[in-house]
Amino acid sequence: MKPPQLEVIFDQPEAFALKFEQSQDGARIAREQTQLEADRNESDRRQLDLNQAPKTSGKMKKPIDPPRPDSTPADETQTPETSMARLFGETIYTYTRAQALLDGVQVEVPRATTREAGVSYPVFLTRAVWDNYVQVPEGVTGQDEAGRLWDLIWMLRFAIAKSPGGERLPVELYVRNDNRAAKLIQLLAICGAMDFDDPNPAITVMLPDED
């Protein structure tokens, strides 16, 4: 025989439905209570973390942006020297044109000569150019330094006139270093700064392999 209480429940469908709904409500309430308890525990944990955190003044500090590679401090004036230093770092050693002139590595052409030839920039010759094509070789007749220098500067001016532009310019001229026929030589003229501390333009004439 079935237990009486089961017979009563199944004989009254509405009572079974009510009991089922009550059991569902109980499970839902239990879940809600469990979730509420979990939320309360999480809130208590966060409050404890805040209480244990170091005290601050309450003012937020503005983050400091790292300097950009191309930025210049407000108190630093942008100059060619500072630009080079920021780009390549500290200079280890610099050999200036002034030092080259003192050491005899370069020779300055008189400004009167360059102006007369129509070259407005200062012109410097390397020692090799001067010794080989300006200084008169021993035993050579019909030559002098002034004339040979003029020929070189005049052909430099001619090369500049026919050049389309640029910082590097080939220069060709005939030079007689013996008592026979003159020979065609090739030189290289480079236009750049006068010196490290002087950005004004100047021309340096050198042998092609001296570049």
The pLDDT score that the predictor gives to residue 7 is: 40
The pLDDT score that the predictor gives to residue 106 is: 97
Residues 197-209: tens digit of each pLDDT: 999 999 999 999 9
Residues 19 and 110 in one domain: no
Q: How confident is the model at residue 1 (pLDDT cuts 50, 70, 90)?
A: very low
Structure-derived torsion over alpha carbons of residues 162, 165, 170, 174, reported in degrees to the nearest 10: 20
Quick check: is 170 in a domain? yes
Residues 13-38: tens digit of each pLDDT: 444 444 445 555 556 666 777 777 77
Quick check: is 166 in a domain? yes
**Contacts (Cβ under 8 Å, ≥6 apart) of 89:** none
Please state, in angstroms and rounded to a whole number, the distance separating the CA atoms of residues 206 and 156. Answer: 12
Cβ–Cβ < 8 Å for 125, 100: no
Residues 26 and 101 in one domain: no
Question: Of the candidates 190, 202, 210, which has an alpha carbon nearest to the alpha carbon of residue 105?
Answer: 210
Residues 197 and 115 in one domain: yes
pTM summary value: 0.58
Residues 119 and 204 in one domain: yes
CA-CA distances (angstroms) from residue 93 to 89, 90, 106, 154, 204?
Answer: 12, 9, 19, 35, 21
Residues 182 and 107 in one domain: yes
* pLDDT exceeds cutoff 90 at 144: yes
On average, the pLDDT of the chain sits at 79
Quick check: is 107 in a domain? yes
Mean pLDDT over 48-70 rounds to 57
pLDDT > 70 fraction of the chain, expressed in percent and rounded: 65
Residues 153-193: tens digit of each pLDDT: 999 999 999 988 889 999 999 999 999 999 999 999 999 99
CA 150 vs. chain centroid, Å, equals: 42
Mean pLDDT over 60-77 rounds to 55
Question: Of the candidates 152, 164, 160, 98, which has an alpha carbon nearest to the alpha carbon of residue 128?
Answer: 152
Mean pLDDT over 136-145 rounds to 95
Quick check: is 69 in a domain? no
Residues 206 and 107 in one domain: yes
Residues 105 and 205 in one domain: yes
Mean pLDDT over 114-140 rounds to 96
Quick check: is 37 in a domain? no
The pLDDT score that the predictor gives to residue 211 is: 78
Quick check: is 35 in a domain? no
Quick check: is 63 in a domain? no
Q: What is the residue range of 194's domain?
A: 97-210
Cβ–Cβ < 8 Å for 175, 183: yes
* pLDDT exceeds cutoff 70 at 104: yes
Total domains in the fold of the chain: 2
Mean pLDDT over 53-79 rounds to 55
Quick check: is 7 in a domain? yes
Please state, in angstroms and rounded to a whole number, the distance separating the CA atoms of residues 79 and 97. Answer: 20
